[in-house]
Structure 1
């Protein structure tokens, strides 16, 4: 059984950084397409390299707030580490309805990214990690439960507590609307409204 490493925050700083060879790709989870960016070091490497799956928070997108994940990808590349980041249903470049988004769909999307790395001959399948930001932190924990071959786990700005108390106000504010309409329309300051289904 692999040891899971849980890191409450992550801060990387490197000099002489070079950019990754980033490829826009499309993954399919069996129900819809997932827009993703796969980044590998742009210098020739003769051996398989480790990789990190990046999971964004609800209402965000694959580069995360302030381009945190884009920047992290470049810093990992400078260390010889590949990465993959993608948009959950209804976010970023996703063409899928936001009503398709749920914890279950997010874990399935994450497993799809993990399987992509597992099948990629450039990647060392025994050295794949995951990082989750905000609700992506919860999704990352659910992912490693289902995929015990993931080597490490890091969380960034995660919700704290038992997972229920932090969402109590949100639940009280939107539950009646979701029960009546089948979904609630959540408004954000930084993006268009996001529909969250009752389930």
Structure 2
């Protein structure tokens, strides 16, 4: 099932697509972060195909346009890596709050600059448990390497009629995805094409060294002959299938979130004193027997009869339940957060 979705971040609307496995109930979820000048579908519809494959594997997916890209609010000229990191963290929260999604099993995928964003979002969101980087940018300054950015008059044209703002270029030296990803708690998978001419494979090695030096879990796989976006049928299929399989294995090892209604609660947890209840029941049984008269039309549970509300010794008659009624009362007590009565 594919659903259009819109959510806000910092006063602007972001547009995306939510992929939900059929009959989903508390399934893992993954956020996808597109690359520089990209969108939620990505080149050769890589993200669309990947999201559908992940959903078939039992994983919910949220792919969306960063502010200034695709159909989301904002101008590309105003985008910064910091704004994209903020958008990604917000998307993680939106996905985690979906009723179909297990908030304890959230992952993220990023392509190219989206890999840089995904790395930083992983470090800044406690929800992310698994991270996949496809041909990631390890040093954002690569965006302006071919220009002397310090001498530019802003905004200046980058490519294809897109303008870069001064805020983006000025912040490039301050963004360090390698340092941010170094101490993440979850495993990381990196896929990088050996024929990537945009970001050579040596760049992603920096992530591996940093994570391993901190004792983290990281796998890097060089996909033979693949370019920057895995733009061939075989390379594309391999990247998608390998990632889906990896996510499935990682999420299978993480204990699913248990909904409050599904948690086992004992009488003691609910504040019910069974011994006191037994004593009370014994006393009530005796009282019921004393109050029994021929006017009683039927019996009530194990108490032996329904006592008359106007019996002289009963100043404040109460309804007392037994057997299944106790379980019902316990649920009512939990729902009302009131455990100051026993019956």
TM exceeding 0.5: yes
Which residue is equivalent to 2:109? 131
SS at match of 1:24: strand
Is residue 2:56 matched to residue 1:78?
Answer: yes
Q: 1:58 aligns with which of 19, 36, 46?
A: 36
In the TM superposition, what whole-angstrom CA distance separates every residue of 1:136-178 from its partner, at most 9, and x where no partner exists? 0000011011113201000112235xx1674462342x4422x
Bigger share in strand: 1
Equivalent residue number for residue 4 of structure 1 = none
Asked whether 1:110 is paired with 2:85, we answer no
Matches within 5 A, 1:16-165: 21-41=1-21, 43-45=22-24, 47-160=25-138, 163=139
More helix by share: 2
Which position in structure 2 is the counterpart of 1:186?
158
Structure 2: where are the runs of 5+ without partners? 168-343
- Across the aligned residues of Structure 1 and Structure 2, the Cα RMSD in angstroms comes to 1.7
The gaps in structure 1 that reach 5 residues or longer are 1-20
SS in structure 2 opposite 1:159?
Answer: coil
Change in CA separation of 1:166 and 1:75 when aligned onto 2, cut-off 3 Å: same
Q: 1-side partners of 2:147 and 2:28: how far apart?
A: 39
For residue 118 of structure 2, give the secondary structure of its aligned residue in structure 1.
helix
1:15 maps to none
Highest relative contact order (Cα 8 Å, sep 6+), 1 or 2?
Answer: 1
Tell which structure's C-alpha radius of gyration is larger. Answer: 2
| Distance in structure 1 (CA, Å) of the matches to 2:74 and 2:62 | 19
Shift of the 164–116 alpha-carbon distance from structure 1 to 2, 3 Å rule, reads closer
Structure-2 change in CA distance of 1:184 and 1:154 (3 Å) = same
CA contact (8 A) 1:175 1:184 kept: no
Q: Deviation of residue 111 (structure 1)?
A: 1.2
TM-score scaled by length of structure 1: 0.78
Q: What TM-score does the superposition give when structure 2 sets the normalisation length?
A: 0.46
Among 176, 184, 190, the alignment partner of 2:151 is 176
The number of residues matched between the two structures is 167
Q: Residues 171, 141 of structure 1: CA spacing in aligned structure 2 closer, same or farther, 3 A cutoff?
A: farther
Q: Retained in 1: the 8 A contact 2:68–2:78?
A: yes
Measure how far apart 1:92 and its partner are: 1.3
CA distance in 2, matches of 1:168, 1:76: 34
CA distance in 2 between partners of 1:165 and 1:27 (Å): 30
